[in-house]
A and B are shown apart, each in its own frame.
Chain A
Amino acid sequence: MNNSYESVMARKNEIMRRSVGIDFNTYEKDYLSFDYEGLLSEGGFTLETIKAIQKDNGVGNTPLKECKNITNLVRKVAKPGFGARIFIKDEALNDSGSFKARRASISCYQAKKMGFKGVIAATSGNYGAAVASQAAKYGLKCIIVQECYDSNGVGQPEIIEKARACEAYGAEVVQLSVGPELFYKFLLLLEETGYFNASLYTPYGIMGIESLGQELIEDCLKLTGKNPDVVVCTNAGGGNLTGTARGIKKTTEAKVEIVGASVNLYGLHMADDNDFNKKSFTTGHTGFGLPFIMNPDRSDVPRSAARPLRYIDRYVTVTQGEVFFMTEALSVLEGIERGPAGNTSLAAAFSIAKDMKEDQIIIVQETEYTSAGKHHQAQLAFARDNGICIYFGDPKDEIPGKSIVLPKSVDLIKAVDLDLDMIRRKFLQSQFYKSKKLSKYDIEFLSLETNTSIDYVINESKKYNIEVED
């Protein structure tokens, strides 16, 4: 068989179909739509069965903890009567140390049920350890494919630690240098082994997080007698936000504002060999968050089940310096030492809580485990070794790849709002390039995709001379 880059990429759809056991074509509709809810019911799981599978496998029912000192810290810099109560869902206590165990649990359950001998996931994040851990429980073989090193063999400390964790759970770890052709090797491995593609973006990868959304509401009601006003989700590929929001909507009809938060890595190219080790965050950043929210189907499956634009109410960025600062604050004020990437949403919540009233509630919906390499101390030291200037000042002066600015005072922690309307319009623009003619179903689909209205989509379509069928 021809294994050149072009030949393997040309076999992509067939490899995918065999490795996820889903015929995505059956969900395609009209000119550019697909049946999203139909896809999300693939496998016939209910939220109850998902929770039962997770309970059996060391996943879920993590504690929701009130961060009383951090709340009081917010109130020191908020206007009188302002400073919402901040709670954090301690997802680091799942087996394998992050909320990703929820996603992996359903993928591995499904792989075992369908008779696959093993699972493969392409991830440099916590998802690798999650899949390896869940695969171990089912006796499945496991391969994790990571982008880990630059071309000189210098690895991101955070990713090196994740490789160790995957190997600790018995997985084979295939590590690559920088480049999007990781997907090429991933396809070759799927073809060679016939294993299940435990993609983050299949319905299983999203359904597994709905339990987190449900628990947030139930925990919050138990602890406070109220629903949360705001839930902040760290946003990269969009699955975390999508699954959490879906779980919330399945549990309460109350309006809960869903906020996405990403670390601002503006100016750093994700596929650049030189930039690779100049960033201190390998996930939860704008380099994934923005491209994926505007084009979710750029993932490793034909139709991604992670569609954050359907659910997001507000999208903010925070800086690397702010996240490191809050990671240390969580440790030293709350006695909870956790990894930095998971605290992206904590830094955002700190800023947002300042503008909320004292009786309101904001939930940070994850934490992640910490260890050598995967710790703000290790990552700041690595940044300094790579020539990044680290100083105290105003975080808005931070230049990704050149500086990390730690806030010199608490009031300088300020999440920056992204223009969601602009993101929605860009999303629609890219859809309109796919077809000059749309059906009524397509228009309705796009209104759901962008969480807008039919009128909004029709107005936008006129700018591109789109013909809408009667």
Chain B
Amino acid sequence: MIKKGSWVQIKKIILNPEQRANNLPEATKKVPLLLWVKGTLSTDSEIGDVVEIKTVTGRVETGELIEVNPSYLHNYGKYMPEIQEIDRIVKSTLFGDDYYE
């Protein structure tokens, strides 16, 4: 169980496909417009429940509870060896081919 007052993230549909704007590309038109927002949980709940939260500005939003203590897990990605090659190109052009010798 996730306790009332926990810091959580919810997800909700704000426009179903048929409610969306006209003139959208096909791929966009066929999916709903989704919203994600974080806040403190109003009642004890479980993941997947439709819950109410209060955001940091004091607004109340409802939606599906998807995560407790949502984390920042973005990173620098898998190493790209091309970056070494860019370094080689610019340094050898500027300092000469013998730079790496």
Contact = CB atoms under 8 A, between A and B. Distances in A.
Interface of A: 4-5, 69, 72-73, 76-77, 118, 141-143, 148-149, 151, 153, 155, 157, 160-161, 164, 167, 170-181, 184-185, 192-193, 269, 271-275, 324-325, 328-329, 332-333, 372-373, 375-382, 384-385, 390, 392, 406-410
Interface string B16-39: 000111001101100111111111
B22 to A, nearest CB: 10
B83 A377 contact: yes
Given A76-B93, A193-B59, A151 B76 contact: no
B87 interface: yes
Contacts of B15: 5, 181, 184
A394 to B, nearest CB: 13
B80 A377 contact: yes
24 contacts: A141-B57, A143-B57, A151-B31, A155-B74, A157-B77, A164-B72, A170-B56, A172-B59, A174-B36, A174-B37, A177-B31, A177-B32, A180-B21, A192-B59, A271-B24, A274-B27, A324-B86, A328-B83, A332-B90, A333-B94, A377-B79, A385-B78, A390-B80, A406-B82
A25 B77 CA distance: 49
B55 interface: yes
Given A118-B57, A184-B15, A392-B82, A410 B28 contact: no
B11 to A, nearest CB: 8
A406 B83 CA distance: 10
B25 A269 contact: yes
A274 B38 CA distance: 26
Contact of A5 (B19, B34, B86): B19
B35 A174 contact: yes
Contacts, number: 164
Contacts of A153: 11, 34, 36
Which 3 residue pairs spanning A and B have beta carbons closest together? A381-B77, A151-B31, A373-B74
B47 interface: no
B89 interface: yes
Contacts of B14: 176, 181, 184-185
B65 to A, nearest CB: 15
Contacts of A328: 83, 86-87, 90
Contacts of B39: 172
Contacts of A377: 76-77, 79-80, 83
A175 B35 contact: yes
A333 B92 CA distance: 11
Given A333-B90, A408-B89, A149 B21 contact: no
Contacts of A118: 57
Contacts of A4: 19
A118 B34 CA distance: 24
B28 A178 contact: yes
A363 to B, nearest CB: 21
A232 B87 CA distance: 25
A261 to B, nearest CB: 20
A180 B36 CA distance: 16
Contacts of A172: 37-39, 55-57, 59
Most chain A C-beta atoms within 10 Å of own C-beta, residue among B27, B79, B91: B27
Most chain A C-beta atoms within 10 Å of own C-beta, residue among B11, B24, B82: B82
A390 B82 contact: yes
Contacts of B74: 155, 157, 160-161, 164, 372-373, 378
Contact of B27 (A171, A175, A272): A272
A59 B47 CA distance: 42
B57 A148 contact: no
Given A141-B57, A176-B14, A372-B76, 7 more contacts: A76-B94, A141-B56, A167-B38, A174-B35, A178-B28, A274-B27, A410-B89
B101 interface: no
A335 B39 CA distance: 40
Given A164-B74, A193-B57, A273-B31, A332 B20 contact: no
Contacts of B77: 157, 377-382, 385
B98 interface: no
Contact of B76 (A164, A378, A390): A378
Contacts of B85: 392, 406
A271 B56 contact: no
A174 B14 CA distance: 12
Contacts of A378: 74-77
Most chain A C-beta atoms within 10 Å of own C-beta, residue among B31, B80, B91: B80
A351 to B, nearest CB: 15
Contacts of B93: 73, 76-77, 409-410
A406 B38 CA distance: 39
Contacts of A142: 57
A372 to B, nearest CB: 5
A448 B86 CA distance: 43
